[in-house]
Structure 1
């Protein structure tokens, strides 16, 4: 089985607000050490948290589509388009379609924890669009009970989110009990973050905050020792446009 495992200790590390906000990055920016490089149109992935609360001050974005997903606690977001602060609670999500440019800021409240993930659309098109947002409450995402878990579709069939980056599906799988089996498409890349649970995959151990990349496989099985939770992004092996990582300039 072609599975690459990147442990938290081998991911890129970051901090904001004098260390009040900490990050591990399974997919870091090109200049950062640790983690892995962008894949297809999945450009960046950070797991951020704060015990005391902290601020990521106002900063600009262009072109990319940026999703924040609250794993626990609360974060608050400000942007120059609407000039307001908006709270996101556990299970809520937001997508910024940065378009031709926007600036925003984020507060992580004490105990807050979230993913920030960047998708890489066709920048020759998105750079000509006005920036826009989607803010979705947890209860508005479709959920489905599986044989061994609960699937919440963040991006994909039935989700209220719409993005321009092609072929992206995002699912939060919770309440997994011991073994997890999943049928895969060999033409897709599966990026899997272990939010909760310890176990083994392809004779290798996995633990919370480990990151798995699965390519050219038609199935995966993870044997957990107890309850587990996985955050899974499916992206195409190849996209129909040149990505930023391939040299497309903003």
Structure 2
């Protein structure tokens, strides 16, 4: 079974403001030194947190990519040159910046807060020529389902609830009761999984908090979950229908 594991130790690291904000990066920039490079239409994935004080990442520019922030815990504040005002996002909320021709933004992570920032590639050869846009989605907008010891939050499925231009992206969060659970895999897609809490056993491999997993070429896997296991999953195409930025620029 093709299961790739990238433990915290194999991920790139970073920080802002002399350690006020810390980062582990399952997918970092080439210069960051992590083991995993961009794949599919996933270009960058950072797990960032502010351990003990509010801290602001100053105004900085983006172009082309779809830059999404997922608030895992606490609150963040966001400013960009399109909105020209600060807004607050809370646990479970999601923001989508379509950087297009260009936009600059700033973020404040409140003390104890935790986020993912993930960059998707929407065919950057086209997206560089469209106007930038911003949208956000509150946690109450996402479907929450409970079944057989599983709680599933659908952030975006085939219906593309968060209106990404990046092809074929689906995003879910799961909470598992201790025990054995079946988990469906689409063998035409990568399933990229971040362990938010607890431990997970798949085919005698053990994964714990902070580990990153890529699974493909299977129809179903069986998970053994322990210790209030929660995961964040992104499904993305093995072969997007366009050349990605990483392919065009040979990012490796």
TM-score interval for Structure 1 and Structure 2 normalised by the shorter chain: over 0.9
The alpha carbon displacement at 1:225 in A equals: 2.4
Alignment of 1:119-130 (within 5 A): 119-130=120-131
Structure 1 residue ranges (4+ consecutive) displaced by more than 6 angstroms after TM superposition:
none
Are the equivalent residues in 2 in contact too, given 1:136–1:160 (CA < 8 A)? Answer: no
SS of equivalent residue, structure 2 residue 190: strand
- The answer to whether structure 1 residue 31 and structure 2 residue 38 are counterparts is no
Are the equivalent residues in 2 in contact too, given 1:155–1:171 (CA < 8 A)? Answer: yes
Structure 2 residues not aligned, in runs of 5+: none
Deviations 1:151-200 (A, max 9, x none): 11112245631011000000011244332321111111010000011132
- The answer to whether structure 1 residue 134 and structure 2 residue 109 are counterparts is no
The alpha carbon displacement at 1:241 in A equals: 0.6
Could you tell me how far apart the structure 2 residues matched to 1:107 and 1:159 are?
A: 28
Deviations 1:18-77 (A, max 9, x none): 110000001111222124111110111110000212111111000000110001000111
Structure 1 residues not aligned, in runs of 5+: none
Are the equivalent residues in 2 in contact too, given 1:242–1:248 (CA < 8 A)? Answer: no
* Length, aligned pairs only: 249
Could you tell me how far apart the structure 2 residues matched to 1:175 and 1:202 are?
A: 17
Could you tell me how far apart the structure 2 residues matched to 1:179 and 1:45 are?
A: 28
| Aligned twin of 2:11 | 11
TM-score, normalisation: structure 2: 0.94
SS of equivalent residue, structure 2 residue 140: helix
RMSD after superposition = 1.5
Are the equivalent residues in 2 in contact too, given 1:176–1:229 (CA < 8 A)? Answer: no
Are the equivalent residues in 2 in contact too, given 1:3–1:212 (CA < 8 A)? Answer: yes
TM-score, normalisation: structure 1: 0.95
